[in-house]
Structure 1
């Protein structure tokens, strides 16, 4: 099924080098309790990296008034990645249901698989979404 030119089978990958700002202790700036943890790629940032990769995969297919928002994530984080190593995220669009897009996700560092699973995003109209958020605030 195709929606707005988006079809299953879209593949995309990108890489990031783990630096100290992407490690578990860096999460403590938002959530206490992480400051004494190992300096390895944080699961919180892994999730963000997966979302960003899916966003970039979809960018060429969206109109200027469309965005996607994450609605579901089910990924493992099965191996630690130290500072200085490169992480590659690979995503494949495997299912389209209306405006819901489901991706298969694989992430690996220079030595091994570090994550796999699924991520779902939903296509939104940006202005309408902001209107709903403003309404919720009032």
Structure 2
């Protein structure tokens, strides 16, 4: 993984769903932008600033932490829909704090508001990620 991260999921919010009374939680991660995280390095542009694909991956990682309380043994979650507005550049060395907050739940479907900001509070991105809780064996069997 590129960048450094300090992960923490805290606070209960959202709606009971895929695992009885369990609820998705808010999560926050911190990353430091490295050369490997840039648009230039990932091929998504030609500037040495945080690449949108990397920022989206960080947001999805936060949603994975948010949905963890819903995952019984043999369960995982998969991303099914993403929307991200990347509104500010982040140079190499910048710290980006990514958050995920539950916004909607309907059974196995879990939706999260995501955002990224610099340590000075400047908004880098806002969006929404939808995940669906799946049975790992059944999901993988469909690929065969």
TM-score (norm. length: structure 2): 0.82
Provide the residue aligned with 1:119 in structure 2. 129
Structure 1: unaligned runs, 5 residues or longer: none
Give the 3-state SS of the residue equivalent to 1:40 in structure 2: coil
Write 1 or 2 for the structure with the bigger share of helix: 1
- Quote the offset at 1:64 in angstroms: 2.4
Give CA deviations for 1:67-126 in whole Å, capped at 9, x if unaligned.
Answer: 111011111000000000111111111111121100011110134100011110000111
Give the 3-state SS of the residue equivalent to 1:81 in structure 2: coil
Structure 2: unaligned runs, 5 residues or longer: 1-14
Provide the residue aligned with 1:6 in structure 2. 22
Provide the residue aligned with 1:67 in structure 2. 76
Which residue among 1, 14, 17 is the counterpart of 2:32?
17
Larger radius of gyration: 1
The yes-or-no answer on 1:92 pairing with 2:101 is yes
Provide the residue aligned with 2:89 in structure 1. 80
Which residue among 129, 133, 136 is the counterpart of 2:139?
129
Q: How many residues align?
A: 127
Report the Cα distance in structure 2 between the residues aligned to 1:24 and 1:14, rounded to whole angstroms.
21
Report the Cα distance in structure 2 between the residues aligned to 1:128 and 1:55, rounded to whole angstroms.
19
TM-score (norm. length: structure 1): 0.85
Give matches, 1:45-64, under 5 Å: 45-64=54-73
Give the 3-state SS of the residue equivalent to 2:86 in structure 1: coil
Give CA deviations for 1:28-84 in whole Å, capped at 9, x if unaligned.
Answer: 3xxxx74xx110110001111111111122224312211111011111000000000
